A = this chain, B = another copy of it.
Amino acid sequence: PIFVNRRAEGGFSGIQTFAKLPVCLTPEDLVAGEMDVAICGVPWDSTATGRTGTNHGPLAIRMCDYKGGYGRPHFELETHVDALEELNVCDYGDAPIKVGNTPATFEGIRKFIGTIVESDTIPIIMGGDHAITWPCATAVADHYGYGKVGIVHFDAHADTGADMPGSLASHGTPMRKLIESGAVPGKNFVQVGLRGYWPEQETLDWMDEQQMRTHFMAEIIHDGFDKVLQRAVDQALDQADHLYVSLDVDVTDPAFAPGTGTPEPGGLTSINVLTAVRRLAAEVGIVAMDVVEVSPPYDDRGQITSLLANRAIRETLTGIAMRRQGLT
């Protein structure tokens, strides 16, 4: 692990790694540095159906932040936890992409994430479109065992669609792929925030058959987010042994996350999202996370979508550190 910044330089100065964290590029680095968490990118947007641009997600999430980490504290004001002090965290760069070749790229992503989990390091993955959850969560299941991993999935969309004719993969289908392969059984899914006009009855029926536990936005509007989050946390605790969190930024309302490919009005607030991921990391514990669907070219000048993704990662780090310290 190598620092590539001058100590205590400003957030926007110098080389932009995530939070000015040191860089690792090989599994050997991860092991040598005893890395607890590796933050990495998967700059792939070729399985999106609406607007693209998520291939620039990792770059934007890295460079949107006014705070650095190296040489400066990362002390969270509510919990009084400094995750970057408590944990060994690095920036692991980006997964390789094979242009125009979905199967080869996804196989590469699976291997790339696999080397991280096999190094006993938690991958926090910056997407990319949501289809990458298929190879990423498969890699995690490869390590912990098929059926042993559960997913809490924040999204406006179920992402459980059947393939469209001729489509090899899509950001609308990863959860079905994972269920069908057995990597993550349907009963291990907890979904939060679904709304809008998709999927249709047939897919909802299939989801029920798979015993997926889905919290629609309507439930959140009716009961309040706090109650629904508590249900999701309880279900996650009651679920498989190892938790993977998949955060599609479009679960938030477009006001809070305008820079995404398939925005759906009527969603969560930033406070909802930040609270949720920290609670899951602290109270349930996680083995991997992805933050997907940030599309920088559609973001505003203030890059508020990238920044929300950045903070969701930082809050997850805070939660991981809290759990280490027994603060849950």
Interface of A is mostly: loop
Number of copies: 6
Interface string of A192-203 (1 = CB under 8 A from B): 001111111100
Q: Are B15 and A200 in contact (CB under 8 A)?
A: no
Contact A52 B50 (CB under 8 A): no
- A49 to B59 CA separation, bound complex (whole angstroms): 15
State A16–B63 Cα separation when bound (angstroms).
Answer: 9
Please name all residues of chain B whose beta carbon is closer than 8 Å to the beta carbon of A97 when the two chains form the complex: 9-10, 13
Task: Verify if A327 is at the interface (C-beta below 8 Å from B).
Answer: no
Q: A47-B99, A52-B52 are known contacts. Are A76 and B197 too (CB-CB below 8 A)?
A: yes
Q: Are A218 and B300 in contact (CB under 8 A)?
A: no
Known contacts A12-B59, A63-B16, A101-B167, A270 near B253 by CB under 8 Å: yes
User: Separation in Å of the A229 CB from the closest CB of chain B?
Assistant: 12
A25 within 8 A of B: yes
Given contacts A73-B197, A77-B195, A300-B300, contact A50 B93 (CB under 8 A): no
Q: Which residues of B contact A263 (CB under 8 A)?
A: 66, 302, 304, 307
A residues with a Cβ closer than 8 A to B are 2, 4-6, 8-17, 23, 25, 41, 43, 45-53, 55-56, 58-59, 62-63, 66-67, 73-78, 80, 82, 91, 93-94, 96-102, 104-105, 108, 131, 164-170, 194-201, 216-218, 221, 253-256, 258-267, 269-271, 274-275, 297-302, 304, 307-308, 311, 314
